[in-house]
Every structure is written in structure tokens, then in C-alpha cells.
A = this chain, B = another copy of it.
Amino acid sequence: MRAAFYVSDGTAITSEVFGHALLSLFPMEFEHFTISFVETKEKALAAREKINKTCKRTGETPLVFHTFVNPEIREIIDGCDGVIYNFLEHFVAPLEKQLGISAKPKAHRTHSIHENSYDNRIEAVNYSLANDDGSNISNYEQADVILVGVSRSGKTPSSLYLALQYGIKAANYPFTDEDMDELKIPDFLKAHKKKLFGLTIDAQRLIDIRTGRMSNSKYASARQCRMELREVEKLYKKENIPFINTTKFSVEEISAKILSETGLQRHKY
């Protein structure tokens, strides 16, 4: 199998995203290796050695995705037996020309604590955890958005993703079996109706997920799942709560759609 290396002097997140976006266009399997925090010549030499050994072992030229700007380290990595893809080199010069200033590679590093928005993001994570699953119904004043939906429709991972990645204070509140007799927006949510965003999910997917957690229960039964979903969707429509069906979407997609539909601003770039 062809090896792909993601090498960086930091977290390697940028190199991973860059390489992954490209490799996902090819219907092939790859063996992936991340080498992060390559900050010294010694570590660069060790990384190069690892790439060269993999080249010998597999008999195929490894693909090496990196974004090094330090010339000493870049030269070492560029001298490996792999084929180098460095996306900075194609774009820095045109951007310098367009912006009329020189790039200053040491001024700032992405994915570090020095990003302006870092404290916001940690605060948002703490908020979302404290307000997960209806655990703190007195604290919705601070919420940027309140996700609602039945159990296992994707509220918790979506709230956490919104908080961690975008610094959005996302609370979430579950509609449970007890709410179903006469489903309405609870009084403590009414004052925050504009912040509500509904999640729903296909019945079969919900049955599968709940069965995985509690098989042969009323909770996981087809009848119960269908009834709960019917009721919440009716509520969303009646109350004009924006909502999405999460069945075919990842947390990344759900979160991006929520931002797109609500117009909430990301606290991270």
C-alpha cells in the first residue's frame, strides 16, 4: 500500500487536511503516517529516515505532505526519497504580491493557543458540557444556540463540535417520552425561542442507534422511535423552529449547516 506522510513543525493538522483533501479524490487506500512537532534538525533527520525506510519496505515512493517554512528543516525533508507536496510554495509568492507585504512565517502559527479566539473556544466547551442534555435549564441566556431533539438524534456531539471548533456556546435539550403526550416548547425555553434549532433523524437509523444502547427496550422500539420523531417534527413545523435531518450528515456537516442556517459567526479562523 502506498504510504502518505504528514509532516509538520506543529500539530500537522494543516498538512493532514491538505493531504487528506487531495488523496480523497483518488479511489485507492493509503497507509497514513503523521510526524508532528518536527522543530529541530535532529527531528527532521529522524523523520526523513522514517520516510526512507518506508520507501524501502513498501517498494513505492511515499507521498509527503508538508508546510514547512523554516528553510533548514524544509531542505532536510525535501531531500527524502518521497515525493514532496508543499502547498505553501505555490501560494505564498502570489499572496505577497496581492497583499503588497512579505510573509512573516514566525509571526503566528495556526492551531496554537495564540489564536485570538482560543479562550472563547475553551469557555464554549465548558458551557456546552455544563448545558448538555438539559442539565442546566436556568442558563440559556448565555447560549448562542440551543439544539433540541429526541434522544440520540445527534445533539451532544454537534454541540461539542460547535463549541470546540467554532467557539459557539451550544446548549442542548432533549425531548423525552414524558414530553410526548402534549409536546410543546417548555416554558423555560420559550424566552429563547429564537435560539432553538431542531435535529431529527430517520426512524430506522434511530432504532439502530438506540438498539445498540438498549436492545429490546420500549426506548429502542420502532413504534416509540417513530412516534417521537413524528411529534418533534410536527412541533418544529408548527413553531417555525429551523431543523435538519442528521441521518446522512457528519458532526462537521451538521455544525456547518447550523452555522449556515442561523448566520451565527464562527469565533475561529
Contact = CB atoms under 8 A, between A and B. Distances in A.
Given A113-B248, A164-B251, A101 B22 contact: no
Given A26-B99, A63-B98, A95-B26, A21 B110 contact: yes
Interface in A144-169: 156-157, 160-161, 164
Given A90-B90, A92-B25, A105-B25, A157 B122 contact: yes
Contact of A113 (B85, B249, B269): B249
Given A61-B98, A110-B21, A164-B164, A36 B250 contact: no
Interface residues of A, number: 76
23 contacts: A2-B99, A10-B256, A11-B256, A21-B67, A22-B88, A24-B107, A24-B108, A25-B92, A25-B105, A26-B95, A26-B101, A34-B266, A36-B260, A37-B257, A63-B95, A85-B94, A87-B91, A112-B249, A112-B250, A122-B251, A125-B157, A126-B156, A157-B164
